Amino acid sequence: MPGPRWQKFTFGAGGLIALAVLFLGIVMLSGLLLRGVRLDLTQNRLYTLSSGTKQVLADLKDKEPINLYFYFSRESAGIHAPLLLPYATHVREFLEELAARSRGRVRLHVVDPQPFSDEEDRAATLGLQALPSGAGGESLYFGLAGTNSTDGRAAIPSLQPEREQFLEYDVAKLIQELGTPKRPVVGLMTALHMQGEMDPMTGQPGEPWPIVGQLGELFTLRSVGTEVDRIDTDVDVLMLVHPKNLPSQTLYAIDQFILRGGRMLLLLDPASGAESNGSGPGGASDLQPLLQAWGVDYDSHLVIGDLERGLEVRTSMDAPPIRHIGILGLHREDIDTADVVTSSLESINLATAGFVAPHPGAKTSFRPLLSSSAAAAPIPAQRFASLLDLATLRDGFKPTGKRYALAARVTGPVESAYPLGPPAGAKPPAGPPAAHLARSAGSINIVILADTDMLLDYMWVQTRELFGQRVSQAFAGNGDLIANVLDNLSGSPALIAIRGRASFSRPFERIEALKRRADDRLRAKAQELETELRQTEGKLAELQTQRADQNSVALSADQERELQRFTAEKLRVRRELRETEHGLNVDIDRLDAWLKFLNMALAPILVSVAGTLMLIWRRRRRQSPPRPT
């Protein structure tokens, strides 16, 4: 018969098996009971939908489901673009979370298109962009397409890792576009001849500005006169360009349009070249008292000059190029990359632009979208009226060291610029709602650009004739900026509220810090070696000139000693460089081993220790003598 020791072993092994069976049972039971329960434990809540996205999904109620097709060529990416794999996994998991939260209103289909398959043909039909990969002509698809019940289609042709923080916005925008297929209405109010100036000789309108043609492909453009009593309620966004001397009735109509939830893109200019007749910049535009009511300061008599961002121009074909500090070329560092309308822009060109600023004590939020460099300062606009020598703009110019906002987004609650009701000369609102609004029902959303010349074709696009057709090629992001702003403002309030998310990638900060410190040390040693090399070579040259026999190739004793010293010093520095590199690898390997231990060994060790302590406790409890009764 087995002894007591064997029985104790049997009981201990049986207890571990029972614990394992119990653990598996709990996991299976939780999978059944907690199905659909999701918990986002990422640091930046990457998989938690924002309130705006939830509202977009809620607006799909009582509508046919939307089908999303996530195309990703996993095999091709693994061979030719392995860095895409982690981001593709993040995109797929986010889309799965969105579909799970939609309550069946969004259906997700994950497609891995194989070469020359039906799925690959349908990807092109849906508007996805094939990225060439490999010498064999294979295509890599990494995009998102969607369809609705009315054969409507929308697509993100290629999901760019650079836009990962705007992934939620782009997907929500696509869903809203499919759920509400009607094109947004943009009301264009301007005194400029943007839609083509009438030719008095022929009586025919001229060519519209390229920006108008681009916007006409994306939105329903509607002309709004500068003398109106009311702006129609079906206008989603009002695009107001270069307002000058607007009558009180039009100012009041704009005021009430904004207060009842309308959005606006406003372009101002202290010296508009678009209004010029060739004799210099035109007059200034302004929108008081509305700007004051919205908490924005703007001086229509000042133009921003910038020494660092001024572009070179030619006054004639024979003249050399000269820097014009009033015509600015903004770079990536001057653009707000955290706002969805400017995040993807690389360059913007402006001419005789003004600036805007938040009014002290304003209740609205003021966010600069475009900014000057720190080498900027205001210049009186009248200096551009009869400017003959561009170099004179620098006379007395002193940068203030301040970055000026050339474009900004203004949001928040506001009060009417006419608190007592319609001003004199303005008619009360006609039709519902007829009541005067004294304050906004919610947060307004206005984007202000302090330049109208950015819309002119020579500032951002080159148009040429090709096979009898006019072809435009953009060399700056001016057109994309206008389209992005209107696209953003014409969305629902829920979509506008969605902002960029944090990056899902988590760099190894301690390892990067170790590499930076080692790199600093390596660079210092390299500079030390170069310095000693130059000094030694100079010493050798000096000794060479002091030799008695200039034609001899033998080294003097001093040269021999100097050469030996330099050789020994070079070996020492190289040895220190190797030691520094080795120290870097040792620190990184030590940290890597510690992380592997934490991730792979610590949990089993803790479980083993806990199990051992439990067995010891149970054994001692059994062996302890019973207490006397």
pLDDT reported for residue 85: 87
Closest CA to 240 of 212, 265, 219, 275: 265
Q: Is 222 exposed, middle or buried (0-12, 13-18, 19+ CB in 10 A)?
A: middle
C-alpha 546/C-alpha 555 separation (Å) is 12
What's the confidence (pLDDT) of residue 608? 72
Tokens 């060291």 -> residue: 401
Q: Which residues contact 271 (CB under 8 A, 6 or more apart)?
A: 281, 282, 283, 284, 303, 352, 381, 384, 385
Rounded to whole angstroms, how far apart are CA atoms 19 and 614? 12
How far is Cα 544 from Cα 70, in angstroms, rounded to an integer?
74
- Taking the C-alpha atoms of residue 71 and residue 158, their distance in angstroms, rounded to an integer, is 10
Beta bridge partners of 69: 109, 145
| 8 Å CB contact between 272 and 326 | no
Beta carbons within 10 angstroms of residue 275's beta carbon: 19
Asked whether the beta carbons of 369 and 407 are under 8 A apart, the reply is: yes
Closest listed residue to residue 321, CA positions, set 399, 397, 391, 396: 391
C-alpha 73/C-alpha 629 separation (Å) is: 76
453-495 pLDDT, tens digit each: 999 988 988 876 654 555 667 788 899 899 889 988 987 666 6
**Whole-Å CA distances, 204 to 53, 200, 210, 225, 456:** 47, 8, 18, 20, 21
At 200, give phi and psi (nearest 5°): -65, -20
pTM of this structure? 0.64
User: Which regions of the chain are under pLDDT 50?
Assistant: 6, 9, 34-37, 39-41, 43-44, 278-279, 467, 500-507, 548
SS (H, E, C) 551-601: CCCCCCHHHHHHHHHHHHHHHHHHHHHHHHHHHHHHHHHHHHHHHHHHHHH
- Both structure tokens of 231: 């702006």
Task: Provide the 10 A C-beta neighbour count for residue 66.
Answer: 25
pLDDT at site 253: 94
